[in-house]
Every structure is written in structure tokens, then in C-alpha cells.
Chain A
Amino acid sequence: MTRFIINRLLYFVLALWLLTVFSFFLNWLFPGDVITNMSGIRVATEAYGEEFALRGGDTNLFVQYAYYLQNLINLNWGYSLVTQQPVWLEGSRTFMATAEILLLALLLALLIGVPLGALSAAWYKAPLDKTIVSFAVGGYSIPVFWLAQLLILFFAVNLRWLPITGQIDPLYLIEPQTGSVLLDIALSDSAYKASAYQNALAHMVLPIVVLASLPAMLLLRMMRNTTVEIMQQPYIKAVRARGLPPYRVVMQHAVPNAMQGILQQLTFIFGLMLANAVIVESIFNWPGIGSWLLKAILDRDYPVIQAALLLLVATTLFANFLFEIYRGWRFPIVREERYGSA
């Protein structure tokens, strides 16, 4: 297991390192001055000379990269060209805001997708199964931005149940300290915490539901297909021959094994959600990393683009790493696969 972890860690760090090299060279690919692209400090300003020296502007690429990496690690990510605010500060906040809805949406997707998928498999080829499956095909074909709009029209405008933008009503005076609104409420000295939580949760419902819809349907389909496949395995046949009712066969024997395949797909699903977060956040004005990146692209705010990409991609890589470790720990066969033949 240790060897497995070290091996995975190595690849993770390697990929991360390549990412920093890539993002370093982005500064040359972007138009304009390289040091400005890195630091957000404009050429004609006083601070530019200082920054130029700090980032080794007159040295060769390797030294410059070393400086770049050093600044990256010291969280000196420069300043936004638009707001002149430190990029790391805003980046970490938006990151937390995204993490908050992303994790909740993933949870929701698992809670919907896995049981429904198992249910569908248990009634394989029955009307229930067919209904669920056609529902799922529609569910993962629907464009998220369209779904978001339909839900807004229905729940927010017609029924007036839910608010549509932001994390919380700004009149609750919650300072964005961490970026995650639930944490921020806990940290605040607001006199109305209960009411604030209620308001924040109401704000979260639509973004989370929209974000969870696609992965939920994908998980449902995967869960169903994997479970159905497992149901044809000899050991399941053996269990059934012993007279266990189909329902218990599925729940006790097929589902746990199907979960392994699901976990393998979680990385992919996580990445997909991260990409959808860009769309969902910009529709619901959620102050997350996706909408931050989008605005930066439209404003050509290069230090921010770079930071947002770095954070987004590093997150997918890290999630991949975590899922692999978990899988390796939970299902030893994963470890064997890697070393059995080597």
C-alpha cells in the first residue's frame, strides 16, 4: 500500500509540476508584457521595476521559472489587472465557494444516482427500469444552461420559492472570510445566524440541483449497467440458486461490487462537474472560481486566468489522486492491477 501511495503521489506531483511549467509558458502565449501577465503590475508603473527584479526579468528562462515557482509557492500570485486586488486572496475565496456547491452537488448526485441505478438494475427490463433509464438519457442530454433557465422560471419566478443569485442576501452582512458561505456564517458575529443559514441554503438549492443533475444521471446509468453486468457473474448465480430474493441479491452482493466501478468514474464525473460549474456559477452569480475565470477571460485579466486555470486543473488532478488512493485502499485489486504484471 505504501508503495502504491508513493507511486501515485509521484505521478500526481509530476503532473502538477508539468502544470506549473505550462502555466509559466502561458505568460508568453498571452499577449502583452510577460512580467505584467505574471504579476498584474503594469509596465509604466513604479512597482514594475521592483517586480521585474523580483521575478528575474533579465535572466534566462530556467532562472525565471525558478522565481516563478518560488512566487507560486509563497502564494505571491500577483494582482488582478482589473481590480488590482491580490489574486491569491480572491482565488482562495472563489475556490472555497466552488468547493462548497461542488461537494454538496456530488453528494446529491450520489444520493440520487446510486440508489436509482440499483433500483433500476434490480428490476432489470421491467417497466420501472425502462422508465428510469429513459428518464436518465433525457437527464444527461439536457444542456445545463437550459435546465438552469427552466428551473429559474419555474421555481423562482412562477412559484417564488427560491432566490436566484449569489450566496446569501447581502443584508445579512456576512463577510466573505473563507468564501464558503456556510463557514462564513459560522465565523461571523451575526445576531441572526439561524435565519442566515436558512437564507444561504435557499440560495444554494438551484445551483446545486442544476450542478447535480448531469452527474446524477450518469451515475444512475453507470450504476445500473455495472450492477446488471455483475448480476450475470457466476457468484451471483450461486447466491440466487441458494434462494435469496432478487432484491437482497442486488443490495447485498451486486451493489457493493458495482461501487468499485463507480468510484473509478468519479474522477471523470468530478471533472465534468467542475466544467459545468463555470456555466452554473455564471448563471447564478455564484462567486466561485468558474465565474471568476469566465469574467477574467472576457476582461483579458491574465494573472487571474492563469490562477483560475491552475487552481481548477490542480483540483481535478488532486481529486483524481484522492480517488485513486481511496480505491487502492478499499479495493486491493486496484493495487494488484498495477503491479501484477510489472
Chain B
Amino acid sequence: MINLRASLPILLSLISIGCSSERELPEPLQKGLVYCSEGNPEGFNPQRITSGTTVDATAAQLYDRLIDYDASEQAFVPALATEWQALDDGTRYRFKLRDDVAFHTTNFFTPSRNLNADDVIFSFNRWLDSTALYHPVGGGSYPFFTATGLDRLINRVVKVGPHTIDIVLNNADSSFLANLATDFAVILSAEYAHKLDIANQPELIDQQPIGTGPFRFEAYRKDYYIRYSRNPDYWREGPDIEHLVYSITPNANKRMLKLVTGECDVIPYPLVSKLRSLNQAQIEVKSEVSPNVSFWAFNTQKKPFDNPQVRQALSYAINRRAIIDAIYYGSAEQAESVLPPTSWAFREAQINYQYDPEKARALLDEAGITAGFEMTIWAMPVQRVYNPNARRMAELMQSDLAQVGINVRIVSYEWNSFRRRLSRGEHDTALIGWYADNADPDNFFRPLLSCAAVATGSNRANWCHPGFDQILLQAIATTDTAERRQLYRSAQDLLNQQVPLLPIAHSMRYQAQQDFVTGVELPPYGGISFRRAGKELAQ
């Protein structure tokens, strides 16, 4: 017995050499990087989705765009397009493409040619042209482009030369380039699509993706991992690491533990306060101001949430201050509008919806909502930048609402089921949020609250207000900033009064990583990029 007990630690440590705290990582671990992502991707084509989880997993890793946005320079910079110019009063843009860009060579596809104008036209037509062969593949829904109106803005994409294209717009639009630089406007391979079409497997285009990005797709196992390998033919400087793994870990606590045990190299949305209390010297926490908002959306197509008075009453019933203290631990500020205060179009709230249960009860009585009324709060199951723990937030709200005599049931599903059911409008109210894809304020309004977004399902309030839509359309039709600011301000006043959703908080964005990880950037807009990722191990 005693012998056994004495030898147990030795035995255990023998087994565990592979993952001890020393930096002598086994070779495969030195050459790869594990990113513990918070959920399953819905697919591998960011054109078709708006979920940040999917964008993080695909956009910057597998694909490139025509142009990129450099946040530090606040300017658009060349990517697949080397240069571009606006013609015909800004209704036609001409792009010149690089000719040295190869698509991925994988065990399921070998490209015979480099990127050319055909690929760009194919990629745009996928979501632009409803008669295109690939448009209906995967359901024919392209929420980002519908919600931003890009599909109505672009008239057509024309091939001018083998490496030159023109994008013809229906009218001049100030947000056009910003939208092209988002994670959604990626370029796919027309040759691969053609090959799949011949093989009669068009749906594989979004499941076994081919792009031009720094990493190639290797394998995906739902709930466990996505594996990428370095693209050796990448057209610009690529990553140091040979393999990139997304280890899917929805539980925030487990993600943090895995960072501590060294199973994760980088994790998004760490529980910052807890990580600090663990005092782990080898873990670095990065933070970045980020344009996002978490909100409580009311399904305005369901009774009684179609009544603005009910929505106002519920807004008064919630103690947002307390929620922010308990959920964000001081890493967020209370939201007054959907727009963060850093935006040039920000307008402070006219009605502040200070916590006032009596007023809430009075308003509910007026609206005919009696005590004992039951409703659901759908709390998203994953952490996002804007909300580190929606379920806990829902529990706090549950108790606030109980004070005014409303019984709340908290509903949650696996992330993809959750989003699917939300799009179908099964919820009464939902706790979710939005992360800006670009610097334009329009990005906070049209994808979230326009009538078009109701159809695509990204309008969680299912709120369609023609007057509001009119203001948004006027705002993008002009490039005059003063005029736009005026319009967005009146839009925010309307939202403040109608409360299709109650803005809760704007949060900082955090990421935690092992200190030997280098080059993993947190761009202020859009997802994460591993293009320059490496590991600096002391030899």
C-alpha cells in the first residue's frame, strides 16, 4: 500500500510529461496553435451567415477580400485588389486584381489556375444574382448582404479584363467600400464550384471550403474541432505555425481551465476577473475597445410585445446598472443607444429607462398585463464580446421581473439551433447583441432593425417600422456627414421611444493567450485573424 501511494505521483508525472508546465512542448505542439473557440461554425462560408463564431472560424483564415480595412491608418488597403478607383460619380468602381494568388491545394481539390476576374464575379454573383447557379445552394439566404442592402445597391459585376472588374452601383453609396472590406465579402473559387457542379455536389462548397487565405481546410468534427493547415502558396507573408486548430469549447469556465492547463493557446472572451484571480504568470490578457452592443430584443410580432408601452414597461423593470456590475465586472459601460458613444453619430438617450419597478407595474397595468403574466427570455448559450454570460444575465432579469409580477422562463439551445429558432421568431424576448463589422454607423441599424432584416432573421425584434427604414435609406444616400448625423440622431430617438430592443451594455473585447503566442491580432472590426500567428518558445 505505502509503496503504491508513494509511487503514484511519480507515475502520474511520468504520464503527464506531455503537458507539464515547462515550456518543453512536444514537437507537434510547437508547430501548431490551438484556439479554443466558443461554438460550432454554421458552415465555412461567411457570405451566408452573420454569426461571429462562424466569421471568426472562417473569414480571415480561409479567405481574402478585395480590400482590407486598416484600423490604425483608418484607411482601406489593398488585398486581392491592388488598386481601385471610383468612376461615374461614384456609381462604378474598377478593381485591378493581383495575378499571383493561388487557391488552396487540398486532398479534395487541386486548382489549375490562379485567381482571376471570373472568381470575383462568381463570388459576388453567389449572393447578388438570384439566377446564378450557386445562389440557391445552402438555402439562398445571404443575410449580411440583404440586411446592409448591398444586394440592392450593386447593379452588376462586369469583367473588363482577365484581372480587372467593374462593380456597377445603382446609386452612389457612402458605405460601399466599408462593406466590401468586411469579413463577409470573401472571394471563392469559380473553378472549384464548377468541379463540384459536375460532381453534382454543389453543397460541398460551403462544407469543404476552398479559398485563397493563409490556412487550408483539413477537417471538422462537430462539437470537437476544426483543423486547418498552413497554405504554403499564400500570396503574402503567412503564419509561422503549420497547423491551426479550433478546439470547440462552449463553456467559458472550461475554456479558461484549458488555457491554464495549456490545452489552449488562445481563448476568446475569457472570464477576465477570474483569470486575474488565478494569477497565472504565463497568461497574457489583451483588451481592445470594441464597437458592440448587447441588448434585450422584444419579439414585436408577438402579443403583447407589439405594444410599445409594454416594451417600455419591461425596460423600466430591469435594473441594468446591477446587471452590468454582476455580469461584466467593470469591463463594460451601460448602453444608452445601440450605437456606442465612440461613434460620431451617437445620440444620448432621451428617455433613460432608469430602474423603476413601480412605474413599470403602473405601465403594465395600463396595458392590461396582470400579475402572473408568463414570458420567455431566450438567453444565448455562448459568450460573445458583448455578453460574457447571457444565461446569468437572464437569471438576474428573471428576478427583477418577478418583482413586477412577471414569471420568466429562461430558454436556451445549442448556439446554431438557438439562432435558427430565433430567426423563426419562436421567442418572446431574447438576450443577444451585435458586433460591428465596419466603422459605419449604418452597420448598427440596417442589419439589426430594418424591415429587410426581418426577412433574413437578423432583426431579433422582428420590428419593421417604415418611417425608421425611410430615415436609414436617406442616411446612406448622402455622403454629407452633418446630414447623416442628423438623420441617425432622429433614428436613435425613434428607437429610444419605441424600444423594439433595450440596449444594455457596450463591452470591451478581451482575449487571453499563452505568453509565447505571437501575432494573434484583435482587429477592432470583425473577427480574429491568425495570419501572423506564431509561437516564440525559449529554446
C-alpha gap A160/B282 in the complex (Å): 13
Q: Is the CB of B21 within 8 A of A160?
A: yes
A202 proximal to B (CB < 8 A): yes
B459 proximal to A (CB < 8 A): no
Interface centre among A162, A164, A170, A205 (most CB of B within 10 A): A170
Q: Which of A85, A199, A285 contacts B26 (CB 8 A)?
A: A199
Q: Is the CB of B258 within 8 A of A164?
A: yes
C-alpha gap A149/B302 in the complex (Å): 42
Contacts of A164 in B (CB 8 A): 254, 257-258, 261, 263
Known A198-B18, A295-B414; contact A171-B29, beta-carbon cutoff 8 A:
yes
B374 to chain A, nearest CB (A): 21
Specify the main secondary structure of chain B where it touches its partner.
Answer: mixed
Q: Which of A162, A176, A201 contacts B221 (CB 8 A)?
A: A176
Q: Which residues 218-274 of B have a CB within 8 angstroms of A? A: 219, 221-225, 227, 243, 245, 247, 249, 254, 257-258, 260-263
Q: Is the CB of A162 within 8 A of B414?
A: no
Contacts of B221 in A (CB 8 A): 176, 287
User: How many chain-B residues does the 8 Å CB contact rule pick out?
Assistant: 39
Q: Which residues 318-335 of A have a CB within 8 angstroms of B? A: none
C-alpha gap A165/B224 in the complex (Å): 10
Q: Is the CB of B16 within 8 A of A171?
A: no
A150 to chain B, nearest CB (A): 13
Contacts of A107 in B (CB 8 A): none
C-alpha gap A172/B27 in the complex (Å): 9
Contacts of A83 in B (CB 8 A): 222
Known A173-B28, A173-B227; contact A82-B417, beta-carbon cutoff 8 A:
yes
Q: Which residues 136-187 of A have a CB within 8 angstroms of B? A: 152, 155-157, 160-166, 169-173, 175-176
Q: Is the CB of A202 within 8 A of B224?
A: no
C-alpha gap A195/B16 in the complex (Å): 11
Q: Which of B15, B26, B227, B258 contacts A165 (CB 8 A)?
A: B258
Q: Which residues 71-124 of A have a CB within 8 angstroms of B? A: 82-83, 85
Contacts of B28 in A (CB 8 A): 169, 171-173, 190, 192, 195-196
What residue of chain B has the Cβ atom nearest to residue A160's Cβ?
B21
B27 to chain A, nearest CB (A): 6
Contacts of A166 in B (CB 8 A): 224, 247, 263
Q: Is the CB of B17 within 8 A of A285?
A: no
C-alpha gap A171/B219 in the complex (Å): 12
Q: Is the CB of B261 within 8 A of A156?
A: yes
C-alpha gap A163/B32 in the complex (Å): 17
Known A162-B261, A170-B245, A173-B28; contact A298-B254, beta-carbon cutoff 8 A:
no
Contacts of A202 in B (CB 8 A): 15-16, 18-19
C-alpha gap A137/B32 in the complex (Å): 46
Q: Which of B16, B247, B413 contacts A161 (CB 8 A)?
A: B16
Q: Is the CB of A175 within 8 A of B416?
A: no
Q: Is the CB of B29 within 8 A of A160?
A: no
B462 to chain A, nearest CB (A): 22
Q: Is the CB of B20 within 8 A of A161?
A: yes
8 contacts between A and B (CB under 8 A): A160-B21, A161-B20, A164-B261, A166-B263, A169-B34, A198-B17, A299-B414, A299-B417
Q: Known pairs A163-B19, A163-B263, A170-B225. 14 more at Cβ < 8 A?
A: A157-B261, A160-B260, A160-B261, A161-B20, A162-B19, A166-B224, A171-B243, A173-B243, A190-B28, A195-B18, A195-B28, A202-B18, A298-B413, A299-B417
Chain A to chain B: the 7 pairs with minimum beta-carbon distance, closest first: A171-B32, A161-B16, A170-B245, A199-B18, A195-B26, A198-B18, A170-B225
